[in-house]
Chains A and B, each alone.
Chain A
Amino acid sequence: MKHKLPFYLSCLLMMLVQFGFSQEKSINGTVKDDQGIPLPGANIIIKETNSGTQSDFDGNFSITAQVGQILAISYVGFESQEVPVTLNTNTVNIQLTPGATLETVVITGYSRRNQTVQTSAVVSIGASEIAEMSPVTSIDNLLQGKAAGVQVTAANGKPGQGAFVRIRGIGSLTAGASSPLYVVDGAVIQEVDLASIPNEDIENITILKDASTTARYGSRGASGVVVITTKKGKRTGDATIRFTSRFGVTSRVNPNFEVMDAAQKMQYEAELFALGVSAAGNLPGVTTTPGTPERQFLLDYETDWQDLMLKDGIIQNNNISMAGGSEKMDYFFSVGHDRNTGIIDQLNGFERLSTRLNLNSDPKEWLSLGVNVGYSRSTSDEPRDRNNAQNPFRAMYDYSPYETEFVLNDDGSIAVDENGNPIYNPTNTTFNVRGALLSEPAVAIQNNWLGAVNAEVRLFSGFSYTFGVAANGINERTESYSKPGGILDSIIGDPANPGNKLDTGTYRYDITFSNRLNYNLDAENHHLDVIGLFEYNYNENNGYRVRSIGFPSAELTTQINAAQVTVGETTRNKLTLVSYGAFADYDYAEKYLASASVRYDGSSNFGKDNRFGLFYSGSLGWNIAKEDFFQVDAINDLKLRVSYGTTGNREGISRYAAQDNVAFGTYPGGSATTPSNIGNPELKWETTTTQNIGMEFNLFNRRIRGVADYFVRTTEDLLFSIPKADESGVGFIFGNLGKIENKGLEISLQGDIFQNENFKWTIGGNIVFLENEILELPDGEDVTPGNAFNILFREGAKINEHYLVRYAGVDPATGAPLYYGADGNTYRAFDLPEDENENRVLQGKSTIADREGGFFSNIRYKGFGLRTDFVFKAGNWINNFVQSNLISDGFNIQSNQALDAFNYWQQPGDTNVNPSPLISQEELGAVNSDRFLQKGDYIRMRNITFSYDFQNKVLDKLPVSSLRLYVQGQNLLTFTEFFGDPEVGISSGETISYANSVAPGEATLYSYPNTKSIQIGLDVSF
């Protein structure tokens, strides 16, 4: 028998008076649900004491109690029951009635509340659900399709890479400012660092969507808040040891298009040369004749570059945790190892070692102490994510199939250099990335500490004081080496100083000191929680960059032996935040609910007189089903809630944006003063106002569960790097600009289609219908944002609409590409009406999906389980630059092309074709059109898991308490009309980085492809 007692209950118990009887009784019992199904792991607690137990797999328990004591039986998702112990109590058989979703605990970081009395739009995901989801290395990817209104787009498929998470649309027009705030055990961490936390350590992820909870994070809650809580042990004496392991293979999600093989490519070259495309003249399709030995040689040594460049990768995960506790303390310890080799042949991908220790103790009756410490170290290969052949994912399309990896001798053998090493073929791109992956390695190594300590002092009659410090420190080093004699070094290196190494390091540090005074009133029908808050947050970045050239050997990978240091620099910046807050939650008999908050925040990056912002919220809720007059059998729970509030944002601008500053470069003779920032002392908080109305309901014995919310978010004084006239010579200035609005309807529904003792089938899903609009821009003028390709902001338009000339197809008579002019007529490129400003149009085609969500089915039969999760997205538009390169109408004739490139205009009357390469050559680049702008709609089977939980009769014979085996597939099916993979986040990381993306998903440009995987796994507990 295991003796476990949740910590929060023990806290409650201590506040109550203990009274004693001396007669002990041994009591046996079972706990079942309303259907008669045993509930394993239900808590049976003797009220007002520290003792208790849990039911076993068959729902059985036994406990020793004294006559007069009260047994409280509780189980997550069910209503608790109490049974008094009398002289006659020997057997207690309990049937619990479900209270399902409404009993979920909501954790905001400042407080915990039951969903029943919650007045905010909040989604909570517990550990058991996380365990069932797709195995991912970064938590943000895991949120996709799980919560209505939470839009998640994988940045790319690189192992360990995060995602773009957007809660309720785009809250801000600048890069990086639309990501939610992430808080782990009270420490703020950046979205890019989420990969440092293993899923197995997470107890709960709570997503706060509306202002009544986000306003408590005041300054930084404008784009929603994701609160992550790590696990803790149960105070039941015995430790639970849990071991999880997964192993599997991963590969690219197969493209839905084909590129040419060697014969096709050469045929294409010959065809185009015959047409008059002169650039084809020196290509083998022209210089060799079909049937000749030269041609045959090329065909014989054909290379499938995609096959060569990619591999089937390996995914491995092992994690062991030990958790437990005694009366006055609990602990959770874990250590985990993750590996994902990725899909690039010759690279090792991503590896992470993580460990965590969480401790809580009550050293005094009035004092509780807690410490959570996590450490992780990851190493990640960093292939170039740029838009040229240095990127393997571009190179594999650019290299022509008749080009070989190595230079070949006439007899087909591989040519070698004077050292006997094979000579890489530079190919048409002048760069062989196969060789470069070995000779120009880049790796990022990250050490990440995440720690929180807190002390709670219980004062008098409901008052308590909490002091907490939460810190996050990330030490990251990126090493890029261009080895002496390597592919890149021989092109751009200094022959006198071969080899080139760049080490970049950052140390990022974030610490929050928090002081909270809590007041808690728990009267008969009145429940009141009040929190007063004072918080100080400090964030510092330190960086260095050192570059040297002149390496005597490729084996030397540190710079100490290099001949010459060419770059050496250090950098530092700081950001501070001071916050005062007061929050209150009240409910009357759990029927009438009210919450209010006010927060006053000052941030160092605004103008001196505009540092402080006031943010507030208020919300009301009504549990109608708890009213005596409400007697509808079909409706078990029904809650209405409404909220209004404001939140702020300070992201998206540089840390000293309010100040006029210069920096210094060097120029022959000495230092050189360069303007580094044109200050804007008027800079102030961006403010978001959210209105929300929501309804939560459970029907038919809670077999149907649902939540619906309608929200309107308006954001004003948007922080923005406002482009200035090129003639000003300053580029841009940070400022506050305009107003945007996001509104939407979120619906989540779940239903138990079928359930009996052995079989249960649940389906569910969620969707958000999202609309957004730019309401105001300064002086009503259009704004072209930087860090995007063809986005324009215009009053009345959607956010992130593509701004392009409309392509009108091919003129059947001439084969020329045609475009729509502003007057609606079609024109050849050079005949378009002169003011091209008018020819480009906004067509309501935005990068932002207007419908997004997920659905799932979960079937359980005895120990077997089959869970499938789908995610979907619709209404967004993607500019397919990859396709435009692969169907380039002869412009990229030296590079390989898609098979569809054959479909070009050949004779008058041809329709539904690509333009004539001859004409397109002359007119290419003249018009920035929407020819390759495509719908990004897709449905993807994110996860399918088939699992088996061993039954009790087997487990009884084994030294384990639970055992689960499963097979899991990820991204195995995709339905889309998009050319290529529709899940587009980053276009090209070196063109527009993850952190700088204003419009993620605007365009495709060869970033790391998304992957699919099949894994087998094991979860075992002792």
Chain B
Amino acid sequence: MKNIKHILLSIFILGAFSSCEKNLDQLPFDEFATANAFTTAQDFENGIRGVYLELTAGGFYGSSDAGSMLSAPDVMSDNTTLSQYGRLTKRTLHNFQYSPNASMRTTYQNAYSLIYRANQILFYADSFEGESKDNIIGEAKTLRALAHFNLVSLFGKIPTQSGDANGSLGVAYVTEADPNTEPSRLTVQETYALILEDLLDAKTRINTTNPAGRLNRDAVNLLLSRVYLYMGEWQKSIDAANAVSAQVAGRDDVVGVWEDTSRAGLIFYIPNEAPILGNNIGVTWSQGGITSLIPEYVASFELNNLYDIGNDIRRDAYIFDGSVTSGGITTNFNGIKKLFARPGGQPGVVDYKIFRAAEAYLNKAEAYFRAGNEGAALAALNTVRSRRYLDQPSNNESGTALLNAIKLERRLEFAMEYQRFFDLKRWGDAIQRTNAGDVADGTGTPSDVLNLPAGSNKFQLPIAQESLDANPNLQQNPGY
């Protein structure tokens, strides 16, 4: 009997000891070793799409309630009015009440997260010799430049904004995927120099055409023309704009562009279809249907009136007549249509439109005007106007009237399209809202804050306290 016990015991113990320690080597099931993820051409295609994917993050070109590139530049402007009928999101931005404790940190983090991914693929692309190498590098560098450009526009001054802008605080320009980096902020001038360096290199490498959702040479040139415009490099802005080959969408296409039935004039957009993306980005402006609207923001009464209804096609494309009925009372709104929905589609699910050809002409118009070439400026302006109005209100301004017309057209063309706050900022203008309310006829509750004086420190958003806490080398903007 004892023998049986000993045999049993030996079997148990031997069996157990022999096989266990190798079980300590565990590899993940849901992930993949980074070192093996950047080898083949297909890996680099996957990799570059990973960089783009971060563009859709909530705080970047997504719909974060805390504000994003998609919403903040219009929320912080005269284009919108806070609706009392919604969830009151982004109110600190609209009221310019942001502080290090209530800032756009998510945007800041999302942008640098994209930059990390761009730097990672650039690191691996160095030793990749496939034929797509240049295109991958070109895209990665453009994305890296775009992220830094968005950041410096929000958190730093714009070179043309004021005389001290170039020497003031820009942002940290990160070019290596280093988890331990604790960079300090460069000056605005240094930041722009590095943005240009990336874009100019990208321009020579990137394909002239790439699949939908990807940047191409037109996009690089368009971004270059905007960066130069912000820098006051008028001729370079014009040259870059001239290098854009895409044509401005015709009047008949304008509504369709915003309902995703036309791609006319789009230089860079991201298809937003379930199950690949299918993100409800329109929630940033409103929820519900046309007659059951829950608006977070409405188009300001002033902006709405700037569109000549029936004549200017953009009123139909950008603003809709929404309403909500509660307790038998119907309230009408100037709803924001740009991200509202595809007709009959899921609320808020429309493509992300990031660059359009019209901007090349409006950048060029402004740059020509600043460079003293009013004729060319007017021509560029009219290229856009002739494709927006049935009956163009005027076509031969000059002098200040021309500049004002260029500024106005830029506001009308890019309302709710991530430009207004930066435009007012770089022109050194104040933000001046009217006293009209949030209801369609101008009644209702006006915005709490109607004015942000030119030169206010609030044109530069505060760096979040958490960001400062995590990086001892980081410096806060003045006034916070």
Please list the residues of chain A having a beta carbon within 8 angstroms of any beta carbon in chain B: 278-279, 281-282, 366, 388, 407-410, 415, 425-426, 429-430, 457, 459-460, 465, 467, 490-497, 513, 515, 534, 536, 538, 564-567, 571-576, 578, 602-605, 608, 611, 655-656, 659-679, 723-731, 733, 781-782, 784, 792, 834-837, 894, 921-928
Contact = CB atoms under 8 A, between A and B. Distances in A.
30 contacts: A282-B444, A366-B1, A430-B87, A491-B347, A497-B346, A566-B275, A571-B30, A573-B30, A578-B24, A604-B24, A662-B37, A663-B31, A664-B50, A666-B275, A666-B276, A666-B277, A667-B277, A668-B49, A668-B211, A668-B276, A672-B53, A726-B112, A728-B178, A729-B112, A729-B119, A782-B469, A834-B479, A921-B448, A925-B97, A925-B99
Nearest to B296: A430
Contacts of B100: 836
Interface string B46-57: 110110111010
A279 B45 contact: no
Contacts of A603: 24
Lowest 7 CB-CB distances: which A-B pairs, in order?
A: A729-B116, A494-B346, A725-B471, A661-B31, A668-B213, A673-B50, A672-B49
B29 A674 contact: no
Interface centre among A281, A282, A410, A669 (most CB of B within 10 A): A669
B8 interface: yes
A673 B24 contact: no
A927 B99 contact: yes
Contacts of B278: 566
B49 A670 contact: yes
Nearest to A575: B26
A726 B471 contact: yes
B32 A661 contact: yes
B246 interface: no
Nearest to A430: B294
Contacts, number: 296
A430 B180 CA distance: 44
Given A564-B274, A669-B214, A659 B53 contact: no
A497 B274 CA distance: 12
A674 B34 CA distance: 10
Contacts of A430: 85-87, 287-288, 294
Contact of B31 (A282, A493, A611, A656): A656
Contacts of A661: 28, 31-34
B62 to A, nearest CB: 14
A723 B470 contact: yes
A478 B381 CA distance: 57
B33 A659 contact: yes
B113 A729 contact: yes
Contacts of B32: 661-664
Contacts of A925: 92, 97-99, 101-102
Nearest to B465: A836
Nearest to B1: A366
A536 B20 contact: yes
A927 B101 contact: yes
A572 B31 CA distance: 10
B124 to A, nearest CB: 10
A729 B326 contact: no
Given A536-B23, A538-B23, A729-B112, A656 B97 contact: no
Interface residues of B, number: 114
B16 interface: yes
Nearest to B119: A729
Contact of B20 (A426, A467, A578, A662): A578
B53 A674 contact: yes
B24 A733 contact: no
A492 B277 CA distance: 16
Interface centre among B54, B84, B85, B289 (most CB of A within 10 A): B84
Given A496-B346, A669-B211, A727-B471, 11 more contacts: A279-B84, A408-B327, A430-B85, A494-B345, A672-B52, A674-B50, A678-B179, A725-B474, A727-B174, A728-B181, A928-B465
Interface in B55-72: 56
B283 interface: yes
Interface in B180-212: 180-183, 211-212
A560 to B, nearest CB: 18
Nearest to A926: B99
A731 B59 CA distance: 15
Contact of B49 (A669, A679, A924): A669
Contacts of B273: 668
Contacts of A492: 280, 283, 287, 347-348
Contact of B37 (A572, A673, A782): A673
A935 B32 CA distance: 47
Contacts of B9: 457, 459, 465
A837 B275 contact: no
B182 A725 contact: yes
Nearest to A426: B326
A650 B49 CA distance: 35
B2 A726 contact: no
B445 A281 contact: yes
B183 A672 contact: no
A784 B444 contact: no
Contacts of B345: 494-496
Contacts of B84: 279, 282, 894
Nearest to A569: B30
A541 B471 CA distance: 36
Interface centre among A602, A660, A726 (most CB of B within 10 A): A726
B270 interface: yes
B247 interface: no
Given A496-B346, A675-B120, A667 B24 contact: no
B417 to A, nearest CB: 21
Interface centre among B31, B52, B177, B211 (most CB of A within 10 A): B31
A733 B179 contact: yes
Contact of A495 (B112, B289, B327): B289
Nearest to B210: A669
B126 interface: no
B467 to A, nearest CB: 4
Interface string B154-195: 000000000000000000101001111111000000000000
Contact of B287 (A425, A491, A928): A491
A726 B470 contact: yes
Given A661-B32, A728-B180, A673 B97 contact: no
Contacts of A782: 469
B24 A576 contact: yes
A200 B292 CA distance: 53
A270 B44 CA distance: 62
A899 to B, nearest CB: 23
B399 interface: no
Contacts of A608: 25
Given A366-B1, A578-B23, A655-B28, A784 B470 contact: yes
A729 B115 contact: yes
A668 B271 contact: yes
Given A536-B16, A578-B23, A661-B28, A834 B53 contact: no
A928 B101 contact: yes
Contacts of A459: 2, 5, 9
A604 B53 CA distance: 32
B97 A926 contact: yes
Interface string B2-41: 1001001100110011001101111111111111011000
B122 to A, nearest CB: 13
A875 to B, nearest CB: 26
B2 A460 contact: yes
A518 to B, nearest CB: 12
B117 interface: yes
B397 interface: no
Contacts of B113: 729-731
Interface centre among A279, A408, A493 (most CB of B within 10 A): A279
A660 B26 contact: no
A412 to B, nearest CB: 11
Nearest to A580: B17
Contacts of A465: 9, 12
